[in-house]
Protein backbone atom coordinates (compact mmCIF):
# COMPACT_ATOMS: atom_id res chain seq x y z
CA UNK A 1 0.00 0.00 0.00
CA UNK A 2 1.94 2.94 -1.31
CA UNK A 3 0.86 6.55 -0.95
CA UNK A 4 2.17 9.84 -2.25
CA UNK A 5 5.03 11.41 -0.30
CA UNK A 6 2.90 14.29 1.00
CA UNK A 7 0.23 11.84 2.15
CA UNK A 8 2.75 10.56 4.70
CA UNK A 9 2.57 14.00 6.36
CA UNK A 10 -1.22 13.78 6.38
CA UNK A 11 -1.07 10.32 7.97
CA UNK A 12 1.29 11.63 10.66
CA UNK A 13 -1.15 14.49 11.22
CA UNK A 14 -4.06 12.10 11.70
CA UNK A 15 -2.18 9.64 13.94
CA UNK A 16 -0.75 12.30 16.28
CA UNK A 17 -3.97 14.32 16.34
CA UNK A 18 -6.08 11.32 17.30
CA UNK A 19 -3.56 10.22 19.95
CA UNK A 20 -3.27 13.76 21.31
CA UNK A 21 -7.02 14.27 21.39
CA UNK A 22 -7.59 11.01 23.26
CA UNK A 23 -4.88 11.67 25.85
CA UNK A 24 -6.02 15.28 26.30
CA UNK A 25 -9.60 14.05 26.73
CA UNK A 26 -8.55 11.60 29.48
CA UNK A 27 -6.68 14.37 31.28
CA UNK A 28 -9.52 16.88 31.00
CA UNK A 29 -12.09 14.36 32.25
CA UNK A 30 -10.00 13.84 35.40
CA UNK A 31 -9.15 17.54 35.82
CA UNK A 32 -12.25 19.12 37.46
CA UNK A 33 -11.54 17.67 40.92
CA UNK A 34 -7.94 18.95 40.80
CA UNK A 35 -8.39 22.36 39.21
CA UNK A 36 -5.96 24.82 40.77
CA UNK A 37 -3.47 27.43 39.62
CA UNK A 38 -0.56 25.13 40.53
CA UNK A 39 -1.98 22.20 38.56
CA UNK A 40 -2.67 24.38 35.52
CA UNK A 41 0.90 25.69 35.67
CA UNK A 42 2.21 22.13 35.94
CA UNK A 43 0.14 21.11 32.90
CA UNK A 44 1.54 24.06 30.98
CA UNK A 45 5.06 23.03 32.05
CA UNK A 46 4.47 19.46 30.81
CA UNK A 47 3.13 20.86 27.54
CA UNK A 48 6.13 23.17 27.02
CA UNK A 49 8.72 20.51 27.88
CA UNK A 50 7.19 17.87 25.60
CA UNK A 51 6.50 20.30 22.77
CA UNK A 52 9.95 21.91 22.83
CA UNK A 53 12.14 18.88 23.50
CA UNK A 54 10.20 15.94 22.07
CA UNK A 55 7.33 16.56 19.67
CA UNK A 56 8.45 19.83 18.10
CA UNK A 57 11.77 18.23 17.21
CA UNK A 58 10.03 15.08 16.02
CA UNK A 59 7.74 17.05 13.67
CA UNK A 60 10.68 18.92 12.12
CA UNK A 61 12.80 15.78 11.76
CA UNK A 62 10.12 13.64 10.13
CA UNK A 63 8.84 16.42 7.90
CA UNK A 64 12.36 17.03 6.58
CA UNK A 65 12.89 13.29 6.07
CA UNK A 66 9.62 12.85 4.20
CA UNK A 67 10.15 15.96 2.05
CA UNK A 68 13.64 14.73 1.12
CA UNK A 69 12.32 11.52 -0.45
CA UNK A 70 13.01 11.49 -4.15
CA UNK A 71 10.46 8.84 -5.07
CA UNK A 72 6.86 10.03 -5.13
CA UNK A 73 5.19 6.93 -3.63
CA UNK A 74 6.07 5.17 -0.35
CA UNK A 75 4.74 2.49 1.98
CA UNK A 76 2.05 4.16 4.09
CA UNK A 77 3.75 3.40 7.45
CA UNK A 78 6.88 5.24 6.36
CA UNK A 79 5.57 8.45 7.97
CA UNK A 80 7.73 7.42 10.95
CA UNK A 81 10.94 5.50 11.35
CA UNK A 82 11.39 2.45 13.57
CA UNK A 83 12.62 4.49 16.54
CA UNK A 84 9.52 6.69 16.48
CA UNK A 85 7.18 3.71 16.33
CA UNK A 86 9.04 2.21 19.32
CA UNK A 87 8.68 5.46 21.27
CA UNK A 88 4.98 5.56 20.45
CA UNK A 89 4.52 1.94 21.59
CA UNK A 90 6.38 2.54 24.88
CA UNK A 91 4.30 5.64 25.55
CA UNK A 92 1.04 3.84 24.80
CA UNK A 93 1.77 0.75 26.87
CA UNK A 94 3.30 2.86 29.65
CA UNK A 95 0.28 5.15 29.81
CA UNK A 96 -2.22 2.31 29.72
CA UNK A 97 -0.17 0.42 32.32
CA UNK A 98 -0.08 3.44 34.65
CA UNK A 99 -3.83 3.93 34.48
CA UNK A 100 -4.77 0.24 34.74
CA UNK A 101 -2.34 -0.51 37.57
CA UNK A 102 -3.51 2.41 39.68
CA UNK A 103 0.13 3.39 40.32
CA UNK A 104 -0.50 6.93 39.09
CA UNK A 105 -2.97 8.94 41.15
CA UNK A 106 -5.85 10.57 39.32
CA UNK A 107 -4.34 14.01 39.98
CA UNK A 108 -1.20 12.97 38.09
CA UNK A 109 -3.34 11.67 35.22
CA UNK A 110 -5.24 14.98 35.11
CA UNK A 111 -2.18 17.22 35.16
CA UNK A 112 0.27 15.15 33.11
CA UNK A 113 -2.15 13.84 30.48
CA UNK A 114 -3.58 17.30 29.85
CA UNK A 115 -0.13 18.74 29.13
CA UNK A 116 1.06 15.71 27.19
CA UNK A 117 -2.17 15.41 25.19
CA UNK A 118 -2.09 19.08 24.24
CA UNK A 119 1.53 18.72 23.05
CA UNK A 120 0.66 15.62 21.02
CA UNK A 121 -2.36 17.32 19.50
CA UNK A 122 -0.25 20.33 18.55
CA UNK A 123 2.28 17.98 16.92
CA UNK A 124 -0.57 16.56 14.84
CA UNK A 125 -1.69 20.05 13.86
CA UNK A 126 1.88 20.96 12.90
CA UNK A 127 2.14 17.87 10.70
CA UNK A 128 -1.13 19.00 9.10
CA UNK A 129 0.30 22.49 8.50
CA UNK A 130 3.42 20.93 6.97
CA UNK A 131 1.19 18.79 4.74
CA UNK A 132 -0.61 21.93 3.53
CA UNK A 133 2.68 23.74 2.90
CA UNK A 134 4.07 20.74 1.00
CA UNK A 135 0.97 20.49 -1.19
CA UNK A 136 1.14 24.22 -1.98
CA UNK A 137 4.88 24.04 -2.68
CA UNK A 138 4.40 21.10 -5.05
CA UNK A 139 1.54 22.95 -6.79
CA UNK A 140 3.80 25.99 -7.26
CA UNK A 141 6.51 23.84 -8.79
CA UNK A 142 3.97 22.18 -11.10
CA UNK A 143 2.60 25.60 -12.17
CA UNK A 144 6.11 26.85 -12.98
CA UNK A 145 6.82 23.74 -15.04
CA UNK A 146 3.56 24.21 -16.95
CA UNK A 147 4.27 27.92 -17.55
CA UNK A 148 7.76 27.15 -18.89
CA UNK A 149 6.27 24.58 -21.27
CA UNK A 150 3.93 27.12 -22.87
Tens place of pLDDT per residue across the chain (150 aa): 999 999 999 999 999 999 999 999 999 999 999 999 999 999 999 999 999 999 999 999 999 999 999 999 999 999 888 888 888 889 889 988 988 898 999 999 999 999 999 999 999 999 999 999 999 998 888 887 778 776
In angstroms, rounded to a whole number, what is the distance separating the alpha carbons of residues 12 and 22? 15
Residue 116 contacts residue 99 (beta carbons within 8 Å): no
Q: What pLDDT, on a 0 to 100 scale, did the predictor assign at position 88?
A: 83
Element (H, E) at 74: strand 73-75
In angstroms, rounded to a whole number, what is the distance separating the alpha carbons of residues 117 and 31? 13
pTM, 2 dp: 0.91
DSSP letter, residue 87: H
Instruction: Count CB atoms within 10 A of the CB of residue 31.
Output: 19
Strand pairing partners for 73? 4
Amino acid sequence: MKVKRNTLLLLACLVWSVAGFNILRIGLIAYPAYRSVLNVLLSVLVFVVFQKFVFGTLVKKHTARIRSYIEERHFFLKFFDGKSFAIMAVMMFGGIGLRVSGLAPEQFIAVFYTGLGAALLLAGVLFGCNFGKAVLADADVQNKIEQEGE
